[in-house]
Amino acid sequence: MGIALRYVWAGLSLLAAACAGAPPPPAGIGELSEARVSVAACRSASVSLHFDFDGAAPSACSITGERAFELLVTPEHAPPINPSPWYAFRYEAKGDAPVSVTLRYLGAKHRYDPKWVGEGESRDLSVYLREDGAVAVMALPPGNGIVSAQEVIAPDDTAADLARWSAVSGAAVFTLGRSHDGGAIEAIRLGRADAPRLVVLLGRQHPPEVTGALAMRAFVDALVEARAVPGDTQILIVPMLNPDGTARGHWRANRGAVDLNRDWGDFTQPETRSVKAWLDALPQGVRPVLMVDFHSTRSNLFYVQGEEEMDAGQRSFLAAWLGGQEQALPGFPFAIEPRNANPGSGTAKNWFHAAFAIPSYTYEVADTADRTAIRTAARALAGRLFPALNAAQRAGTRDAAD
């Protein structure tokens, strides 16, 4: 039996021992996508755990006591896979005693301390972590709540962001394409369709990377509210490139079991193909000048082109946009890594730079970064964007004249 099938049967055997029918989710939790398979609840007489909303990972569940449960946290496909072990569930607990939930990771170690959301309040929860990192135990307060590895930002939440940006800017939301599950790859364009300079902003290629999504939301908020897109510039904003993986609680991949940030160049998946098709259909005279791809990792950093890859215009953009800012943004120190990370691996960063010879950056936000600092820094960097593009254009013009 293959590794992937062993994962499936291990999960199903645990579920079969511990599950019963589930009531509908409470108000305020997004409904399960039609394409998702319904997952039963795991319940004792006084406590039940549910995996019935977009973003919930259908973890195998064992009941180890009246108020004690164990979840097997598994990836969506067999290794190798990036260790971003996502989990999310809601619970209902009668009585006054806390509820113990143990997370047991298959092929990974604990990365995300739980976020808890109750009625009108939210907080981070601490865990007891086994020395090898493969098991984490949390105590949940009685009552009802949602527990997740990071804040749950489901496709419907991103659709609401797009609608809000559209209402403020007057720009229309449109569909680039469809995912494997039929989810819309939605986008919005700020600026004129014939503006020659195109900036591309991408988000949520990897479902668990929520801090990157928070940064992108604040970055776009600032651009929209400023109403200051230059007449020669347009911005394509694609904030949810992997709706299937996000809705299903994947660690990394889309519904096709592919890491989308390794598919640029091959374009085997409908999500990356949808962006490529839109770019291919651009009118003559419109050309990308910048791509920024929002992600999350262990620390705040920007992956940028290596020194040998940059021309004068790209160097000027980097200096004007990020130069001197590494310690200047309150609560958000960051590093700049000028190198060809993952060479030949099909990342958006590498493909956009190779295809268009433009600055092509990965904007990485730490998993544990302060949420207010994330938003403040993103808004500040959005404010520096257009002056930096103008500096790059001037430098490129001078370089061409020499």
Distance CA 27, CA 6 (A): 36
Contact 305, 359 (CB under 8 A): yes
Q: Using alpha carbons, list the distances in angstroms from residue 178 to 171, 243, 261, 271, 355.
A: 21, 9, 17, 7, 24
Residue among 134, 138, 72 nearest 99 (CA): 138
Closest CA to 153 of 88, 108, 70, 98: 88
Please report, rounded to a whole number, the percentage of residues in the chain having pLDDT higher than 70. 88
pLDDT (tens digit per residue) in 26-62: 444 444 444 334 456 899 999 999 999 999 988 999 9
d(CA 234, CA 231): 8
Average pLDDT, the chain: 90
Distance CA 185, CA 241 (A): 6
Domains along the sequence of the chain with CATH: 3-148 (no CATH), 155-401 (3.40.630.10)
Rounded to an integer, what distance in angstroms lies between the CA atom of residue 20 and that of residue 356?
54
Give which of 359, 299, 303 is closest to 333, Cα–Cα.
299
Residue 247 burial (10 A CB sphere; 0-12, 13-18, 19+): buried
Structure tokens at 389: 């593009």
Long-range contacts made by residues 16-21, C-beta under 8 angstroms, separation at least 24? 17/62, 18/42, 18/61, 18/62, 18/63, 19/43, 19/61
For 142-174, the pLDDT digits (tens) are: 999 999 999 999 999 999 999 999 999 999 999
Average pLDDT, integer, range 107-128: 96
pTM: 0.91
Confidence of residue 340 (pLDDT cuts 50, 70, 90): confident
Prior bond to 155 cis, omega within 30? no
159: left (phi over 0), alpha (psi -120 to 50) or beta: alpha
Question: Which residue type, as a one-letter code, is found at position 284?
Answer: Q
Evaluate whether 7 touches 27 at the Cβ level (below 8 Å).
no
Please give the share of the chain, as a percent, with pLDDT higher than 90.
84
